[in-house]
């Protein structure tokens, strides 16, 4: 049986697990490495050029052409809508989702988080959440604690970066959540909301043209 897979370390590790299980059942297998468009494209954002299935499309084609008999994918890469003639035949047991922190100086997780950094990150995430638009929206927020205040800078740009709405202000640490939401709303009202909407529409059109 010919197993098709990408050539990344993760993909090969997963394909090898499947290969070993099949061979333990007496089925001879070989692994065929297939380079996908997601592997080849390194000079531009994938969402702008490849659409959905960037890491599975060529492997799907090989399956449909009879060049391979089985494909191994990370489930995160597989679109929910599959080509006619292909099915998800089996799923491996889920591995632990937990990560491990290994430090040189013996720092323990119990000693985290670093409170000032956590506070700054919370401010930034609240502002970005209010602005919306997802990961494609050209928005930014930066907070830095200075005593009992946070110096906050946030902005929204147009896709081509020719237009910008920017806000910079000192907010009190005590009411940081309230003021962070206020800054996000002010950015939207001053034109940032319109720029976010334009970005969302732009990327929707790009994906629709693929």
Active site residues: 77
Handedness of CA 144, 150, 156, 161 (dihedral sign): negative
Alpha helices in 25-161 (DSSP H): 37-40, 46-49, 57-64, 115-131
How buried is 95 (Cβ within 10 angstroms: 0-12 exposed, 13-18 middle, 19+ buried)? Answer: exposed
Q: State how beta strands 139-146 and 30-33 pair.
A: unpaired
Query: Residue 119 class from Cβ within 10 Å (0-12 exposed, 13-18 middle, 19+ buried)?
Result: middle
- Beta-strand pair 2-5/30-33: parallel
d(CA 26, CA 161): 59
Are 179 and 154 in contact by the 8 Å Cβ rule? The answer is no
Helices (H), the chain: 9-24, 37-40, 46-49, 57-64, 115-131, 176-187, 193-209
């Amino acid at each position: 049986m010919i197993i098709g897979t990408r050539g990344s370390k993760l993909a090969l590790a997963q394909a090898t697990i499947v290969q070993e299980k099949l061979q333990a059942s007496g089925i001879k297998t070989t692994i065929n490495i297939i380079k996908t468009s997601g592997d080849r494209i390194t000079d531009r954002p994938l969402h702008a050029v490849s659409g959905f299935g960037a890491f599975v499309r060529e492997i799907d084609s090989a399956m449909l052409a009879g060049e391979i008999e089985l494909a191994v994918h990370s489930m995160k890469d597989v679109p929910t809508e599959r080509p006619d003639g292909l099915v998800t035949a089996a799923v491996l047991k889920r591995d632990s989702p937990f990560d491990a922190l290994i430090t040189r100086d013996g720092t323990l997780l119990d000693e985290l988080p670093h409170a000032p950094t956590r506070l700054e990150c919370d401010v930034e995430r609240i502002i970005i959440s209010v602005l919306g638009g997802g990961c494609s929206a050209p928005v930014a927020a930066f907070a830095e604690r200075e005593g009992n205040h946070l110096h906050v800078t946030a902005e929204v740009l147009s896709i081509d970066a020719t237009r910008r709405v920017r806000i910079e202000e000192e907010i009190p640490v005590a009411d940081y959540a309230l003021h962070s939401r206020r800054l996000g709303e002010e950015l939207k009202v001053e034109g940032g909301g319109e720029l976010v909407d334009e970005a969302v529409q732009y990327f929707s059109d790009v994906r629709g043209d693929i």
